[in-house]
Structure 1
Amino acid sequence: MKEMLQAIQEGDLQRINAFLETFLMNEAPGEQYEVAELLMQYGYLEEANRVLEHLAFLFADEAQIIIDRANVCMEMGNEDEALELLLSVPNDAQEYPQALLVMADYYQMQGLFEVAEKRINEALELLPNEPLLQFAKAELLFETGRFIEAARIYEELYEQEKQFAGILLAARLAEVYRAGAAYETALDYYMEALEEEVTPDLLFGSAYAAFQSAKYETAITQLEDLKELDPDYFAAYLLLAQSYAMLEDNTRAYQTIQEGLARDEYDKSLYLFAGKMALKNNLPEEAESYLQQAIALDPEYMEAILVLIAIYAQQERYDAVIDLFESVQKEGFDWGALYPYVAEAYDKEEAYDKAYEIYKSAYNEFKEDVAFLEKYCYFLLEDGKRDEAYVVAKQLALLEPTEQEWQNLLERFE
């Protein structure tokens, strides 16, 4: 027995298998069960299953052994065998609620959440005050997006114990409130959890909740601490840069996002934000470079494409607007948000037929946009399409009835 335990603790699989056969023949069932638990704990699932099969042969009606075997089978990926074992546990067995809970885990893994909830509810009918079952239901509700119901159960458990099944309930409550967009409440629980233990995930979660609560200084404090604890926590850099930007500290925001890119050069969102911050810092060439790199990582990254096209349009680089738009079209993508820039670019490049086609396609989406309508209206007038221009002018007058320019324009038509 002592040598077997030593082999398990040392991870000596060869010695474990060498001792196992003699061990199963000579040692008492209680010691065999203890070894099965140790094997499960250290991840020797096949060996644990072998011991449990032996014990099941000796004690065919022992429900706990059946449930343990089912757990091992599930860990090994033999879900069908696990379910068959669980269904063999008698309804009147003391361990039946435990079998229902393991069945719920099985159905949850299969994505059958309603069936899983029914099994948990059935177990709760038998043991309504069992914290383990209540916690299991809260976890299921959390996973399926029923945050208010999950929070209520977590709160009830939190009043009794601060920690459950190795999980800080304050941390779990923070996660569920954050997922439900109750960010200020989430932040309070994150801070409570951080008093018990400091982890990168808790620091990031607290920073995110603080950011969403417009407490940007708090977010910065948490994220700077996170950077010291784990410099490779890549998500921290974007949120930290955004927090500095919200405080209009654009220099720090730009420096931070560059730090992030130095550690993670394959995150397109970092390049996009770096491009935006470069613009804020009056660095248009760097902004263009960052945005081009974002698009190189993802040719469908429409937000980056939109910002880059806006830069080209502002710089009156209409040929660049057209080239980027046509390259996007070749990839089979089309996005109406680009149309106002592209229509104006074709117009300036004297490609009037294409300009007219784009303007016309964009009209319904931008018929509330005065700047777009103004350009479209004058384009139509210059192109001799007076009837269509009159329709656009009427829309302009409707949107801005006190604007004399549109009234004068309508008078010209009349």
Structure 2
Amino acid sequence: MSYSEQMLTKLQEDHDWPSAKKLFALALRHDDDDTLYDLGTQLYQLGFNPQAKRIFEKLLRAHPTEDELRTYLADIAVSAGDNDAALNYLDAIQPASDDYVAGLMTSADVYQAMGIPEVSEQKLKEAKRQAPDEPIVDFALAELYFSLGRFQEALPYYQNVRAAGEEEVAKVVIGQRIGATLAGMGEYEEAISEYQKLPREAMDADTTYQLGVLYVETKQYQQAVDTLTALQQSDPDYAGLYPYLAKAQAALNQLADALSTVQIGLGFDEFNTNLYHQGFDYATRLDDEDHALEFAQEALAQDPDDQDMILSLSNLYVKNGDDQANIDLITTAAQNHELDPQMYWNIARSYERQDRMTDARENFLLAYPHFRENADFMHDLVLFFQSIAARKELLAALKQYLKLVPDDMAMQAAYDELLAEP
């Protein structure tokens, strides 16, 4: 038995690292090159890179034309974070070498890791020219384009890989990637079709989630509920499923279920802004105002500048007649941000109900440029000017309102009567 074989036995079976180290030193001195090469590749696969590196360096000195050794050494250098050393090894591989394509692909990996994808693309295109029918090259190009979000370019390369009979490469299921690529291109129905063709064992949590999201995007809500509920049952910690499951349930008018889904989801992801907004919406639609207020207050405790939630809560305060709470909310918001025009309208209504007419008038006028074409707003404005007997402003408001609602006879009569006054 060679020293290399003895070393592997001590390493893998006996887990005796001190003895394995001694045998490794003896192998370097006494074993033949073929035996050492086998030992180097096995140590590389087991993750013992420093030892594999010593073997490959020794062999490269003895066999300087064996470029496969350079690709191994380059991989080890990348793992150690030494990209310059990796590129030095790879640049030494000449186009006439049998390992030139492998070297190009490893170079592409190095440049991508360095954040230079354009050079990575150049290396892979050269590999494609050198080996036009090699599926692993097509796969590498597809993965590069996929990682860059260039889905239109990735798709034909994935299809080439599958056409070559490869259903899985480097633990990547090609059908999964084609489905995700089609989804990235906005081809949702085609993506769904790809996912539906996958064998059950390929439907991992991520793929099931993606399929559920696609069902939501294509408004196939019952399929979305079925798919995402199955994911929830198998992997309840998959926090991303809850907003989409709730959305699908709400679309089916299963509002109580949607609200429950939001509450469960917040147990796994308490900082998910979308869930708070969804919970507020569903609770409001269920007339469950206590829960709606809880969602709003929790969301604003996390993000006091959430303008969408501030407006939603303001609308609820106006509906419920909680005028002081509405005034406090909007006044605080105004200290940090320019207000949404709807907030001027909301606070004006609250000031009016508190008989703070000067404040109400100021905010109605601030809202007016944004809502002058809104019949509901103009109706409120007419009633406000009537209440404070502001004849000139009332005439102007009535005139604008009647442009929007010309068949409102009561308002037309009020306008005519006002015009007739001396």
TM-score range, shorter chain: 0.7 to 0.9
1:172 CA drift (Å): 0.6
1:103 CA drift (Å): 2.1
Calculate the TM-score normalised by the size of structure 2: 0.84
Corresponding residue number in structure 2 for 1:78? 82
1:2 has 2:25 as partner: no
Listed as ranges, the matches of 1:161-310 within 5 Å are 161=165, 162-310=167-315
1:54 equivalent among 43, 48, 58: 58
1:153 CA drift (Å): 2.4
Contact 2:176 2:207 in 1 (8 A): yes
Query: Higher mean Cα deviation, 373-382 or 34-43?
Result: 373-382
1:104 equivalent among 85, 103, 108: 108
1:122 equivalent among 111, 118, 126: 126
1:90 has 2:94 as partner: yes
**1:338-364, CA deviations, whole angstroms, 9 ceiling, x for partnerless residues?**
443234334444555655565555555
Corresponding residue number in structure 2 for 1:344? 349
1:175 CA drift (Å): 0.8
Corresponding residue number in structure 1 for 2:157? 153
Q: 1:289 to 1:383 in 2, by over 3 A?
A: farther
The root-mean-square deviation of aligned C-alpha atoms, in Å, is 3.2
**1:96-154, CA deviations, whole angstroms, 9 ceiling, x for partnerless residues?**
22222222222223333322222211221111221111111112222222222222222
Query: Higher mean Cα deviation, 147-156 or 63-72?
Result: 147-156
1:163 CA drift (Å): 2.2
Query: Higher mean Cα deviation, 172-181 or 295-304?
Result: 295-304
Instruction: Find the aligned partners of 1:380 and 1:14 in 2 and give their Cα distance.
Output: 93
Contact 2:145 2:151 in 1 (8 A): yes
Q: 1:91 to 1:304 in 2, by over 3 A?
A: same
Instruction: Find the aligned partners of 1:19 and 1:367 in 2 and give their Cα distance.
Output: 88
Letter in 2 for 1:2: E
**1:288-316, CA deviations, whole angstroms, 9 ceiling, x for partnerless residues?**
11221122223333333332222112112
1:173 CA drift (Å): 0.9
Larger radius of gyration: 2
Q: 1:154 to 1:317 in 2, by over 3 A?
A: same
Contact 2:209 2:231 in 1 (8 A): yes
Listed as ranges, the matches of 1:34-45 within 5 Å are 34-45=38-49
SS at match of 2:259: helix
SS at match of 1:239: helix
Q: 1:148 to 1:351 in 2, by over 3 A?
A: farther
Contact 2:135 2:160 in 1 (8 A): no
Letter in 1 for 2:60: A
1:204 CA drift (Å): 1.0
Calculate the TM-score normalised by the size of structure 1: 0.86
Contact 2:348 2:359 in 1 (8 A): yes
**1:377-412, CA deviations, whole angstroms, 9 ceiling, x for partnerless residues?**
66577595947984x767656656666678778876
Q: Structure 1, unaligned stretches of length 5 or more? A: none
Q: 1:120 to 1:360 in 2, by over 3 A?
A: farther
Contact 1:380 1:389 in 2 (8 A): no
Instruction: Find the aligned partners of 2:225 and 2:267 in 1 and give their Cα distance.
Output: 20
Contact 2:7 2:21 in 1 (8 A): no
**1:152-195, CA deviations, whole angstroms, 9 ceiling, x for partnerless residues?**
22223223322233221111111111222222111111122243
